[in-house]
Amino acid sequence: MGISETMKAVSDPQRRTILTLLKGSRLSAGEIAAHLPDLSAATVSYHLSILKKATLVREERYKNYIYYELNASVFEQLLLYFSQFIEEPNEENP
Amino acid sequence: MGISETMKAVSDPQRRTILTLLKGSRLSAGEIAAHLPDLSAATVSYHLSILKKATLVREERYKNYIYYELNASVFEQLLLYFSQFIEEPNEENP
DNA sequence: CCTCAATTTCGAAATATATCTAAATAGATA
DNA sequence: TATCTATTTAGATATATTTCGAAATTGAGG
């Protein structure tokens, strides 16, 4: 929990690649690793654990596999956070 | 430039404090440092340089001071980036 | 031109992060 | 139950980040 944790999780390029993969579809850890040929399976697992702690993804076990999927609600929190810096000044409320 | 750089810049709590301060008003480096009593002026300067490189803030020199202010357009890019993970699936376009 | 104040830059140290290989775990199925 | 496969955990290491105090820089004003 915590927006710092979420942002740190999302600021890593490899983890953003994982998030982008999961945008399309639910994938197992192994399928995700197959899309990241520069990383070992252990490293992919490490990144998934970071994303999971930040609740950016959920895991679901099926047979021998662990499937990961996005948790969209956390992205809404990020959107909300950043929108505060854009809101135009309100002249009614000086 | 680059969204990684921007996100890394914004993922640090001290730097987010600085951004929040600047939401209200343009401030000099010294004024910002005064709001962050746990950090040395040198450290604040370091954080400002990170925010500047990420173009999250602009600097403007006046007399002996360097004033900093937010650059809202970069926050719009962040918003755009995160919104891709929220967009609902489009049934017209399978 | 000298000095003061504001800020940055430098060099060093502590902490955190990303990565690997090897070992451990969990579950499926022969 | 023995073993195979998918995945995670552990331990180690290299790199990156945050921080400090001290020194350098910049500009203002006497």
The tens digit of pLDDT for each residue in B18-62 reads: 999 999 899 999 999 999 999 999 999 999 999 999 999 999 999
pLDDT attached to residue B24 = 87
Q: Which domains does chain A have, with CATH numbers?
A: 3-83 (1.10.10.10)
Closest CA to B68 of B37, B36, B24, B6: B24
Residue B85: its chain A contacts at CB < 8 A? 19, 23, 70, 72, 75
pLDDT attached to residue A24 = 87
How far does the CA of residue B90 sit from the closest CA of chain A (Å)? 12
- More confident call, B93 vs B6: B6
Over residues A60-82, mean pLDDT? 96
pLDDT attached to residue A88 = 66
Statement: residue B94 has pLDDT above 60 = no
> Per residue in A4-29, pLDDT tens?
999 999 999 999 999 999 998 999 99
Cα–Cα dist B93/A51, whole Å:
29
In a 3-state reduction of DSSP, which class is residue B28? strand
pLDDT attached to residue B20 = 97
Residue B13: its chain A contacts at CB < 8 A? 4
pLDDT attached to residue A31 = 98
